[in-house]
Amino acid sequence: MELGIIGLGRMGGNMAERLRRGGHTVVGYDHSKDASDVGSVEELVERLSPPRAVWVMVPAGKPTNDTVTRLGEVLEAGDVVIDGGNSHYVDDQRHGEELAAKGIGFVDCGVSGGVWGLQNGYALMVGGDEDNVKRLMPIFETLKPEGEFGFVHSGKIGAGHFVKMVHNGIEYAMMQAFGEGYELMEASDIVTNVPETLHSWQEGTVIRSWLLDLMNRALADDPQLDAIRGYANDSGEGRWTVQAAVDHAVPLPAITASLFARFASRQDDSPAMKVVAALRNQFGGHAVESAKGADSPGADVSPPSV
Amino acid sequence: MELGIIGLGRMGGNMAERLRRGGHTVVGYDHSKDASDVGSVEELVERLSPPRAVWVMVPAGKPTNDTVTRLGEVLEAGDVVIDGGNSHYVDDQRHGEELAAKGIGFVDCGVSGGVWGLQNGYALMVGGDEDNVKRLMPIFETLKPEGEFGFVHSGKIGAGHFVKMVHNGIEYAMMQAFGEGYELMEASDIVTNVPETLHSWQEGTVIRSWLLDLMNRALADDPQLDAIRGYANDSGEGRWTVQAAVDHAVPLPAITASLFARFASRQDDSPAMKVVAALRNQFGGHAVESAKGADSPGADVSPPSV
Amino acid sequence: MELGIIGLGRMGGNMAERLRRGGHTVVGYDHSKDASDVGSVEELVERLSPPRAVWVMVPAGKPTNDTVTRLGEVLEAGDVVIDGGNSHYVDDQRHGEELAAKGIGFVDCGVSGGVWGLQNGYALMVGGDEDNVKRLMPIFETLKPEGEFGFVHSGKIGAGHFVKMVHNGIEYAMMQAFGEGYELMEASDIVTNVPETLHSWQEGTVIRSWLLDLMNRALADDPQLDAIRGYANDSGEGRWTVQAAVDHAVPLPAITASLFARFASRQDDSPAMKVVAALRNQFGGHAVESAKGADSPGADVSPPSV
Amino acid sequence: MELGIIGLGRMGGNMAERLRRGGHTVVGYDHSKDASDVGSVEELVERLSPPRAVWVMVPAGKPTNDTVTRLGEVLEAGDVVIDGGNSHYVDDQRHGEELAAKGIGFVDCGVSGGVWGLQNGYALMVGGDEDNVKRLMPIFETLKPEGEFGFVHSGKIGAGHFVKMVHNGIEYAMMQAFGEGYELMEASDIVTNVPETLHSWQEGTVIRSWLLDLMNRALADDPQLDAIRGYANDSGEGRWTVQAAVDHAVPLPAITASLFARFASRQDDSPAMKVVAALRNQFGGHAVESAKGADSPGADVSPPSV
């Protein structure tokens, strides 16, 4: 079928390519003229026959909001917009209402697959009305991996990004689990073959998984991870997961611990631990480390403590 | 090769069967006469030709300790004992020393695979001296899954059970991650297709894994998990993981949160939360729930709080 | 000085009383006619001489939003509104902007003290412009406890409620700390005098605190907390604290754990732990507890685990 | 009454001084000849009249174990040993049994008070038999603070150190709570007066406490805590608290989070977060920070994430 795509970065570009390989007619627009088939959003809309379908694949937040607003101005009743970016599900709900007021449909689609998606397909999680989703199925069929998995219509508008957000929250905790296990093995002086151990776990264990495979790829290149600093960014969805949990009164201790571990990994010094150190010094006379840096963080030879 | 096995329960019995299918000569002993090839540990030892190898596959703690002690009495220098149970690595270190004093070798072997192992093979994690491990390789080769994975010599005596313990700790956090994600999706009123969502995740996602596959098996039978209570036991290795982390000063927030969630799941009422409720009542006049049971845990219509 | 107060519930009524005892002229309005000095917000405004000061002491959210909006309609440039409720600091920022557009000042004031405040004074945390805060100091001086503590101008508009929110977050973790310690002592069979132990801690310890005193008051009435269910509500500020932490990328593990413990305390059954139980059953054949209720949650007599 | 004290460091020396001021006869022994009244443990025992009481105030672990063993050799039936150090309650139970075999009594005593104890008294938490505790009451009465608080006989042998351990666990979480709250306020750009805010909280708030007072002492000297690094040691009792919780299947999320935060504060780089960073790089092409150090840890400008 015919599809407009706005945003031809790494993700959008690869998805356009996979769709074209699958026989669809794709008209792409991007800020970068080199990548773009048309010169403007208006031109993209003109190039498509109604009822149109336009896939938005730009960064979440203002870029997506602006694009959806612009599409609301140039599309017609009966058209449909798909947000395939990483939008917050709350934004989806607002976008859906704004477009519905003009008779334009809205579908949100969480996409997983990263750099592997062009070849293997993208896992798609979709939210929206049954009618709109059904109409877009040819697109989803081409983008998804072959086989029975990799596509779901999860619920109402916002549900696609909601479950993608949860997917990423689960991912945070799984990554943290491997990180914690790795660190504990490395800390033991009886375990001398940590990379080999992780290698062996790829079959026959309960924890076999794609993340474990990736961990082994990383260790194959750098067995001690010497080249990598223990510094982890977060792309927003982990935060939204925790906030959604708080909103829904759902306890989420492992996922939240994983998010906080990333926050802490980015601190040069912890204000909270300054307070703890200051308090220990106040009540117990425990030595504090000078902020100038302590080279030999040895055991605390404290007196019988309070 | 020739191997004695002590303990022919579900795990030991299946492992003996897999070894026999692989052409090894297995002499098994079990408390249950029906399962046993011999009438006693002494008889088992007599039936094996030196240098003997005896695999212990009985519950961790006293049963394993008693069995290893008994073997120390009846085996000879040059023999080797393998502990394939779920022993604590600290026990391994003691067992290794006790047997070494008599010239008997000791190898610890963490085993993963559960009810699937007979067919698919067992993931094996081994600790001990190079010589002893090398000598037992024919056994390990038969027990492990086919292919390049599923066996590792992780380090010194105790290392096999240490890394198996860590494997289980990682497993705890992965299970908790799926549980948390499931609960958050269920709590959302926009996500209406949770089982289908989890089904779809089996390909093309970052979190694809054997545990996700198992979760889908469970949901296929019982889509709302109606028949299962949210009550989770722990088999000891999660506790040891946290204790090892504390001993090694390694922060393990996600794995520990997972263990604590299991502890909490088994409480009818939480003494800690009684204190919190009592304190809220003291300072703010917040109503407490009677211990007799509160049927309608609704929103707290508290006054401007302190 | 002269002050209007809207909202004469437990908190607002006591504050009005403390102000009158301190010589101020208070005009109060409440939905309940019995408590109210005037029949409407308009009448309250008429009764005050400009430049007026009106203290809003109604529940956070819609009631406060509606009241501030109404005051924006009936007050004049030069007047000032104080929000003494438990508003979210983000609401304060919006209210400040709305009123500023009409030349009306806005000050937010977090209030701590609960049922003890009438007698002992209220701890006040204030956000807003220096000029507005200075003008209201006679009010603050009367409301606060005697002595050098209990009042602070913490920063810009919103800062008062922000720090009050953080105060409550700290409070959550302190309460949780006492709850956890209590539970661990109760779980030990060598500690036979838990209430006496907590009683003794009120002097000479590092953890002496008002919360510890309150805990001892609660235990004096009910030494085993038999009458209280381990069920704890949350009044919103703990949630905001966690959300603010996520927004600011600040790791907050202890406070968040305390919030999640409250969430969990209100669940009859945990969906997350259903998943964990279902997974254990899938891979290990571990028995699950029937959802109908398990009467004898004993030790898990599981086979050597996977 | 007459008391021997072994260990005259900061704690033991001050306690001896407080006892002498209280009219007791104290014979002290210390490795350091300057501080010591006698030249050996034997001489100390000779200087005391039976039935003797000897207070051990040396570091926990080997020093205490060796001292108790030595006392078991030189004391007589009817004498009593008090361990006033920071021993693990499990050690107490073993010491109690060893001494009981010789008719020697054993009492464990957790001591809180730190550098303030000489002047204000020490909070004492005692475990042991009723008879032995009763006999030592004159000593406890002098050491404890004046008034009704500061002394408790908490239960059997080990109970004194157990509850002192729990006290310290609670202390960890309270310190962490203040640290987290401080950090969140510092992270906000609307809160401009953090030290003044903490100062004001010392009266009228729910969180007023000695630790809050100490925090204000620290901030009075160094309002931004510029001179202190966020590096916090742990003295062992926090670890034991978590291990006891794991042994007793008690969930302890806030206290454990506080312990882990200290562990993390002492790491130059986190192996766990190396893994997380490596995994993000593998699946998403997210940039990793070089281990050589990243000077500008800015926002992650990642593409639509997986």
> pLDDT 10s digit of each residue in chain D, 306 long?
999 999 999 899 999 999 999 999 999 999 999 889 999 999 999 999 999 999 999 999 999 999 999 999 999 999 999 999 999 999 999 999 999 999 999 999 999 877 778 998 999 999 999 999 999 999 999 999 999 999 999 999 999 999 999 999 999 999 999 999 999 999 999 999 999 999 999 988 899 999 999 999 999 999 999 999 999 999 899 999 999 999 999 999 999 999 999 999 999 999 999 999 999 998 876 666 766 443 333 333 233 333
B13 pLDDT tier (thresholds 50, 70, 90): very high
Residue D204 — left, alpha, or beta (φ > 0 → left; ψ -120 to 50 → alpha)?
Answer: left
How high is the pLDDT of residue D285?
Answer: 63
- Neighbouring C-alpha atoms within 13 Å toward the C-beta of D174: 31
Third-level CATH fold of A164-265: N-(1-d-carboxylethyl)-l-norvaline Dehydrogenase; domain 2 (1.10.1040)
Within an 8 Å CB–CB cutoff, is residue D285 touching chain A? Answer: yes
pLDDT > 70? residue C303: no
Is B111 within 8 Å of B163 (Cβ atoms)?
A: no
Q: How far is B300 from chain C (nearest CA, A)?
A: 6
Tell me, what's the pLDDT at C38? 97
Whether residue B123 has pLDDT greater than 80:
yes
How many beta-carbon contacts under 8 Å exist across B and C? Answer: 278
pLDDT value at position A304?
A: 32
* Residue C294 pLDDT greater than 60, yes or no: no
Instruction: Establish if C74 touches chain B: CB-CB under 8 angstroms.
Output: no
Name subunits touching D (3+ CB pairs < 8 A).
Answer: A, B, C
* Model pLDDT, residue A285: 63
> Mean pLDDT over residues B22-29, rounded?
98
Query: What residues contact residue C171 under an 8 Å CB cut-off, 6+ apart?
Result: C211, D206, D207
SS3 C2: strand
Please list the residues that pair with A53 across neighbouring strands.
A80
Q: Are A17 and A118 in contact (CB under 8 A)?
A: yes
Among the listed residues D2, D17, D171, D289, the single catalytic one is D171
Rg value, chain D, Cα = 24
Instruction: Give Cβ neighbours of residue B298 (< 8 Å, ≥ 6 apart).
Output: none
Domain locations in chain D as residue ranges? 2-157, 164-265, 270-306
For residue D247, what are its two tokens? 């042994």
Cis check: omega of the bond before B51, within 30 degrees of 0: yes
> Which pLDDT band, with edges at 50, 70 and 90, does B113 fall under?
confident
**Mean predicted lDDT score pLDDT of chain A:** 92
CB D161 within 8 A of CB C89: no
A-chain residues within 8 Å CB-CB of C261?
251
Each residue's pLDDT tens digit, B47-103: 999 999 999 999 999 999 999 999 999 999 999 999 999 999 999 999 999 999 999
Which is more confident, B35 or A190? A190
Q: Which of the 8 DSSP states describes residue D123?
A: E
Taking 50 as the threshold, does the pLDDT of residue A297 lie above it?
A: no
As a whole number of angstroms, the distance between CA D23 and CA D1 comes to: 8
Whether the CB of C114 is below 8 Å from some CB of chain D: the reply is yes
D159 touches chain C (CB under 8 A): yes
Contact C226, C140 (CB under 8 A): no
User: ω into residue A51 within 30 of 0, thus cis?
Assistant: yes
Q: In chain C, whose CA is at the least distance from the CA of A246?
A: C239
In this structure, whether the domain defined by A2-157 belongs to CATH 3.40.50.720 is answered with yes
pLDDT of residue C285: 63
* Closest by Cβ to D145, choosing from C152, C203, C211: C203
Judge whether A272 is closer than 8 Å to chain C, CB to CB: yes
D11, D283, D306 ranked by CB distance to A303: nearest: D11
pLDDT value at position D287?
65
Residues of chain B found within 8 Å of residue D285, distances taken between Cβ atoms: none
* Structure confidence by residue, pLDDT tens digits, A213-240: 999 999 999 999 999 999 999 989 999 9
Q: What is the pLDDT of residues A88-132, one digit of tens each?
A: 999 999 999 999 999 999 999 999 877 778 998 999 999 999 999
Whether residue C259 lies within 8 A of chain A, CB to CB, comes out as: yes
Q: What is the pLDDT of residues B254-268, one digit of tens each?
A: 999 999 999 999 999
Task: Indicate yes or no: CB of C150 within 8 angstroms of CB of D208.
Answer: no
Mean pLDDT value across residues A29-41? 94
A171 has catalytic annotation: yes
Q: Which residues of C touch D200 (CB under 8 A)?
A: 123-125, 149-152
Across residues A169-176, what is the average pLDDT?
A: 98
Is A46 one of the annotated active-site residues of the chain? Answer: no
Tens of pLDDT, residues C121-159: 999 999 999 999 999 999 999 999 999 999 999 999 999
Q: Is the ipTM value over 0.90, yes or no? A: yes
